[in-house]
């Protein structure tokens, strides 16, 4: 029997995504679209003096996998720098592609395991990380 695409945990994560909000200070922003599925994220980021994330605001138009991934980014990006986000994205990408057995150290990513067999969803899952990196680069 095939496991369901959208588990209760994925739907819970997707529904936990916050509405976009005005940040105390906006240092960078980006708008990124997935070429594979058309998902779209508009994101703004507030960074501290050491270029670590203070706050993130995002508008997400994606499937439940993309929304769940965006919720995990939103919930665990605080205090991280560009290199840490990039490392997490590479680990996630390799895990989704079955090039490694673990998803890395970003909390909650194992909830996205049903997507490993659905290559068409990988772009939506990686999109929040790509968008965050783009917004951080925009702040430079």
Q: Which residues of the chain have pLDDT under 50?
A: 1
Domains along the sequence of the chain with CATH: 8-138 (3.90.1010.10)
The pLDDT of residue 49: 96
Distance of alpha carbon 17 from alpha carbon 51, whole angstroms: 24
The pLDDT of residue 3: 67
């Amino acid at each position: 029997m095939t496991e369901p695409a959208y588990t209760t945990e994925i739907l819970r994560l997707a529904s936990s995504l916050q509405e976009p909000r005005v940040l105390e200070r906006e240092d960078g922003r980006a708008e990124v679209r997935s070429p594979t599925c058309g998902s779209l994220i508009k994101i703004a980021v507030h960074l501290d003096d050491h270029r670590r994330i203070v706050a993130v605001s995002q508008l997400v138009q994606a499937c439940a996998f993309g929304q769940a991934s965006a919720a995990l980014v939103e919930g665990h990006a605080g205090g991280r720098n560009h290199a840490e986000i990039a490392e997490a994205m590479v680990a996630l990408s390799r895990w989704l592609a079955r090039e490694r057995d673990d998803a890395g150290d970003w909390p909650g990513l194992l909830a996205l395991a049903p997507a490993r067999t659905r290559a068409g969803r990988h772009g939506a899952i990686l999109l929040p990380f790509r968008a965050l990196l783009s917004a951080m680069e925009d702040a430079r």
